[in-house]
Copies of this chain bind each other. A is one copy, B any other.
Amino acid sequence: MSAHAPGPADPFDSHDHAHCAATVLRRAEEQALEEGVRLTPVRRRVLEILLESHKAMGAYEVLDRLAAEGFGKQPPVAYRALDFLVEQGFAHRVRRLNAYAACLSDKRDHSPAFLICRGCEQVAEAESPELRAAILALGEAHGFTVERGTVEMLGLCSRCAGKQPE
């Protein structure tokens, strides 16, 4: 069922990953051009690295890769690139994992929920108007002005749920 639908691929579905990654990268390049920000070699490379799989990567994991490829060897090199990607909406930070994942969505400035599979360790992003509404409503019910909402779901994707009997 690896669909080539209009929207972004679901990481938990089998899909043409090379195509998936290339699409995201291309879109990032376009968007950077439009916004007048620079997708420099380090930044671009970090995005490529994140796009190699749908697992979230720690900053130091990314840093090791960069260092091995001749970029800087110190934490700020990775953190600055990651911060840039997050700011531009090219990547997301997954707080539960202290890690980062490429953004697969074509929407700018969204804040999706994350589905974190503890089996294969992949992370998917998902949006839901109901969820968004419920968050705003809950805030409102408490007189609370919600500026950012974070939703992270830990569990098992269908494939991993099938494998792991217990």
Chain A contact residues, majority secondary structure = mixed
- Asked if A151 CB lies within 8 Å of chain B CBs, one says yes
A157/B137 contact (C-beta < 8 A), A149-B151, A152-B150 known: no
Q: Which residue of B lies closest to A144 (CB)?
A: B115
A113, closest chain B residue (CB):
B138
**How many A residues face the partner with a CB closer than 8 A?**
38
**A135, B113: Cβ atoms closer than 8 Å:** yes
Mark out the residues of chain A between 115 and 143 whose CB falls within 8 Å of any chain B CB in the assembled complex: 115, 117-118, 124, 126, 128, 130-131, 133-135, 137-139, 141-143
Given A148-B154, A151-B149, A153-B149; A131-B142 close (CB under 8 Å): no
> What is the count of identical protomers in the complex?
2
Q: A148-B155, A158-B144 are in contact. Are A128 and B117 (CB under 8 A)?
A: no
CB atoms of A143 and B158 under 8 A apart: yes
CB A123 to nearest CB in B, in angstroms, measures 11
A to B CB contacts below 8 Å, 6 in the list: A10-B142, A128-B138, A130-B138, A131-B135, A145-B161, A148-B153
